[in-house]
Homo-oligomer: A and B are copies of this chain.
């Protein structure tokens, strides 16, 4: 079990939970939640520095061993996303980028077509691109064709907590691509994360599901365990579903007057 690792862009990870750093009440809470999550990849955003005052950097909240995954969140054009990615690389000294090109404000749905174009540019530019996209088989194919290192289909709208709204399409995507599939967005509670992993996803990325819980640090721990549990359940191979009950043991040997008439213990 100790060697159930996964890789993206030449990096290898033991944890299959990626976490964001937005929406926390404080840097301290961010730090505690990341630590509790056990995440080895942590997303950050890029924004203009406030020119007038200094405040603690989000980087202070991230354990030293973690891999930074800068995003292009908020970008709505190919150009903005590419420029943002390049600035992030300059800042983070790493070629990893979570590519987001948003196409709709209310749902924060990606503009898949623009995302494919931006991905192509960034891959050409040497980036390891992890694109946020809808769970659309054709978009996912295109993203792979242009050289993305993983695909990150959304499970539900960003920050909605609605869970895996369409598990079937996630399964179709898993059967179709060779790169890691990371469910990104929509996970609201631990069982959602477990479901994603049981489908066979390589990892799960979340932020609001942890940060907007009443107790984020405890939820981070829950998510860590849920991702691990779901992964192990996937590897262990779940029992087949059956329409009827099935008793467990030989159906003899119960107490009773004549020939044993009761089955042995049916199991729960």
What is the total number of copies of this protein in its complex?
Answer: 4
Complex alpha-carbon distance, A239 and B238, angstroms = 28
**CB under 8 Å from chain B, chain A span 1-30:** 1, 20, 22-23
Q: For chain A residues 133-173, which have a beta carbon within 8 Å of chain B?
A: 134, 136-139, 141-142, 156-162, 165-166, 168-169, 171-172
B residues near A229, Cβ cutoff 8 Å: 190-191, 193-194, 222-226, 229
CA A251 – CA B45 in complex, angstroms? 12
**Of the 9-residue stretches A60-68, A89-97, A241-249, which lies at the interface with chain B?**
A241-249
CA distance A213 to B240 in the complex (A): 8
> Which residues of chain B are near A211, meaning CB under 8 Å?
248, 267
Report the interface size class on chain A.
Answer: 35 or more
- Are A87 and B255 in contact, CB atoms less than 8 angstroms apart? yes
| Interface flags, A106-147, vs B, CB<8A=1, else 0 | 111111110010000000000000001010111101100000
Q: List 12 A-B contacts (CB under 8 A).
A: A113-B142, A132-B268, A156-B168, A157-B172, A159-B245, A159-B268, A186-B268, A191-B194, A208-B239, A215-B236, A222-B230, A222-B232
